[in-house]
Amino acid sequence: MILLDRVSKTYSRGSKPSLDRVSLHVEPKEFVIVVGQSGAGKTTLLKLLTREERQTSGKIIVGGIDYDKLKDREIPLLRRKIGVVFQDFKLLPNKTIFENVAYALEMVGMGNKEIRNTVPKVLDIVNLTGKEDRMPVELSGGERQRVAIARAIVRQPKILIADEPTGNLDPKHAWDVIKVLEKINRFGTTVLLTTHNQEIVNRLKRRVVTISDGKIVSDRANGGYKL
């Protein structure tokens, strides 16, 4: 599903690489946790997968698509297959919560009726029923984070990338979110999760990839949290 072959990323010429010859293979339906200290390169790795950034060298193949051969007009189609929970949420500030989630469906041309059916269900999953008409600024950080999660899963993507989706949540809500990710994973979505939360890593008992200074330093099935 996801294949990285000696991928490096240097943001500006001359500075040291944020990712240094990273090789990673993720099977379809796998659940992978990426851990590493702040600044290790986790977000950079995810940005390469969504083509927000381009790798400086190396090969990236996702769902059979070689990113070097990807044309500009194919990028939106690629992104629609990947759900992303951004570390900084990236909600649309001028749209209500409902509209934020619906936007992901509108752009693919889903009918209005279907959208009106789907969005409330997903908002219910993340416990936001009743807040549909609020603007993002009117929500708490944790609530915003859950909107971002709802938007990422509403299209039932083949791949779900979640960058610190529990960062702003108390243990109860954090665990609720993790349970949503597990559920989605059970339905067949490949999940890539980054987190600093030791407890979650230890409880999940999934494959753990550890990045340090832009390099993968360990990759263990059923690993625990260890930096």
Ligand X SMILES: Nc1ncnc2c1ncn2[C@@H]1O[C@H](COP(=O)(O)OP(=O)(O)OP(=O)(O)O)[C@@H](O)[C@H]1O
Whole-number minimum distance, CB 102 to ligand X, in Å?
A: 29
Produce one character per residue of 104-130: b if its CB has 16 or more CB atoms within 10 Å, e if not: bbeeeebeeeebeebbeebbebbbbee
Applying CB under 8 A, the span of 82-90, 174-182, 197-205, 212-220 interacting with another protein comes to 82-90
Chain residues 45-104 in contact with ligand X, contact rule CB under 6 A: 87
Residue/partner pairs of 100-104 with CB below 8 Å, 24 or more apart:
100/136, 100/147, 100/151, 101/147, 101/150, 101/151, 101/154, 103/151, 104/151, 104/154, 104/155
Strands 19-26 and 2-9: antiparallel
Among 31, 36, 60, 86, binds ligand X (CB under 6 A): 36
Residue 8 site contact among another protein, ligand X, Mg ion, none (CB < 5 to 8 Å, cut-off depends on kind): none
> How many CB atoms lie under 10 A from the CB of residue 227?
12
Nearer to another protein, 76 or 224 (CB): 76
Nearer to ligand X, 36 or 157 (CB): 36
Contact present, 99 and 135 (Cβ < 8 Å): no
84 binds another protein (CB under 8 A): yes
Whole-number minimum distance, CB 106 to another protein, in Å?
A: 6
Angle of helix 141-153 versus helix 171-186 axis, rounded to 10: 0
Whole-number minimum distance, CB 45 to ligand X, in Å?
A: 7
Distance CA 50, CA 37 (A): 22
Among 14, 109, 137, 140, binds another protein (CB under 8 A): 109
Residues that bind ligand X (CB under 6 A): 11-12, 18, 36, 38-44, 87
Residues that bind another protein (CB under 8 A): 50-54, 56, 72, 75-80, 82, 84, 86, 90-94, 103-104, 106-107, 109, 111-112, 151
